[in-house]
Structure 1
Amino acid sequence: APAEVVATLGGVKVMMCHGHAQRVKYTLDPLAYRAMELGVSVALFGHTHARCLRNEGGVLLLNPGALKDGRYALIEIENGDIKMPRLLEL
């Protein structure tokens, strides 16, 4: 499996990765830099199981948290615009 996947969803370029290669347990800087390098607007990641929703350098960094704890995220994309990213629980 690839270490990261980049796709355009609803006109928004999104990076998806596990996060271990970017060392997200220690800092989000490498993830943000990689996302900027790829020219994506959103970086979805996991690894830490800790929720995260923040903007770094114009990139939305999102970790929904642990699904086993009923946590997930919802991002609405409309005409290339990201609307209301949310962290939710079952």
Structure 2
Amino acid sequence: MKALILSDSHGLTELLEVISKRHREDVDLMIHCGDSELEIDAKELQGFHVVRGNCDFRGEFPEEFIHQENDVKIYATHGHLYGIKQTLQKLHYRCRELGATIACFGHSHMLGAEVIDGILFINPGSILLPRMRKEKTYAIIDTYGKSAKVIFYSIDGKELLSSSFDLNQ
């Protein structure tokens, strides 16, 4: 399974469409981890599974999204309800409750990917207001069996970082 993950677009429309068009034929799933600040039926969000962020007041987006394919279960949320700027512990507990192997979230605008206790946590950064780096970013995860590869891209489609992870629990 291959998934495009982005977050914190904060009202951007044209760039969402550009990224979607660039990758939609190559991915099985597109996830927006919140703070789109768009209406739920915005054409720019077409094809994305979108969760509600702390700045999303214009649509009735769900708080979380769950997708399972084979042995991989992806859990997506914005992160503000789990205090991810302080710790990933509450998000980790939620993933354990659900049996999720991958957690996708935004909120902090800081990209990162790491495995903690068998769960891969991915924050794609922000395509508008990045923190701790200058590049505006998004991610693509490619899972195969119990392995995953996460590639972070700048908004112009250039690969910035790539890491492989073992999802064995």
Q: Is TM-score (shorter-chain normalized) higher than 0.5?
A: yes
2:91 counterpart of 1:25: no
1:8-29, CA deviations, whole angstroms, 9 ceiling, x for partnerless residues? 1464110010111111111111
Match of 1:73 among 139, 152, 156: 139
AA aligned to 1:52 is G
1:83 alignment partner in structure 2: 148
Aligned residues with identical type, % of pairs:
34
Q: SS at 1:49's partner residue? A: coil
CA shift, 1:87, in A, is 2.2
Q: Runs of at least 4 residues of structure 1 off by over 6 A?
A: none
Q: SS at 1:21's partner residue? A: helix
Relative to 1, partners in 2 of residues 1:73 and 1:10: Cα closer, same or farther, differing over 3 Å? farther
The CA distance in 1 between the partners of 2:87 and 2:65, in whole Å, is 21
Relative to 1, partners in 2 of residues 1:52 and 1:11: Cα closer, same or farther, differing over 3 Å? same
Aligned 8 A contact 1:17 1:44 in 2: yes
CA shift, 1:41, in A, is 0.5
The CA distance in 2 between the partners of 1:10 and 1:65, in whole Å, is 27
AA aligned to 2:92 is A
Relative to 1, partners in 2 of residues 1:35 and 1:25: Cα closer, same or farther, differing over 3 Å? same
* RMSD between superposed Cα atoms in Å: 1.6
- What are the equivalent positions in structure 2 for 1:1-90 lying under 5 Å apart? 1-9=61-69, 11-68=71-128, 69-78=135-144, 80-89=145-154, 90=156
Give the gaps of 5 or more residues in structure 2: 1-60, 129-134, 157-169
AA aligned to 1:28 is L
Of the two, which has the highest radius of gyration?
A: 2
Which TM-score applies when normalising by structure 2? 0.48
